Amino acid sequence: MKTSRRKLLEGTAAALATTALSKPTLAQAFSFTSNQRYPDPAIEILDPSFAKYRLYSSTLEQLATGMRWAEGPVYFPEERYVLVSDIPNNRIMKYSEKDGSFTVFRSPSNYANGNTRDRQARLVTCEHSVTRRITRTEKDGKITPLDVKAGDTILFGKYAGQEIKIDGSEYLIVREEEVLGVIEK
């Protein structure tokens, strides 16, 4: 097939137009202004069955920006801070009630999600990168993987695992990534 000068110029123009018109994928940005009116008009009830849970004396407060989405919050009342997973940016963020700062707690976080705390107020996190593991952050900052062994008492989701029967005994086979935690004795 012979390429003409016209076809080459048309192809180049199309490529330049596509590049110029495309937008990078960034965190959602919208203007936010705090509101002291009650009820706050920024709170929208999408399902009427949730209306009974609305607190009419509350308003929205923006604590931080720059995250594509944040989830897995866990509160540490002793130190007065909240940790949230910023999964796409591979980090855990920390909001301090003491001074209002919002800083990076851990980066990289192995795409952490599902944060909670144990009875000794240590952070327990599900990591979703290549590691696919559950870790505990010790008081000194050391990260300890929580291994699951045969006979351990574990926590798992409602729909996790596969039930099987062998010789009249029932077993639940759970994949490692479905384990939410190990209960220490």
pLDDT above 50 for 25:
no
- CATH class of segment(s) 69-146: mainly beta
The pLDDT, as a whole number, for residue 134 is: 84
Question: In CATH, what is the architecture of 148-185?
Answer: Roll (2.30)
The pLDDT, as a whole number, for residue 68 is: 83
Average pLDDT of the residues in 100-108: 93
pLDDT digit string, tens, across residues 39-87: 777 778 899 999 898 888 877 778 888 888 888 899 999 999 999 999 9
Q: DSSP string of the chain?
A: -PPPHHHHHHHHHHHHHHHHH---------------SSS-TT---SSGGGGGG--TT----------S--EEEEEETTTTEEEEEETTTTEEEEEETTT--EEEEESS-SSEEEEEE-TTS-EEEEE-STT-EEEEE-TTS-EEE----TT-EEEE-TT-SEEEEETTEEEEE--GGGEEEEE--
Examine domains 69-146 and 148-185 and report if their fold is the same: no
Domain boundaries, the chain: 69-146, 148-185
In which band, very low, low, confident or very high, does the pLDDT at 164 lie, cut at 50, 70 and 90?
confident
Does 91 or 8 have the greater pLDDT score?
A: 91
Overall pTM > 0.85: no
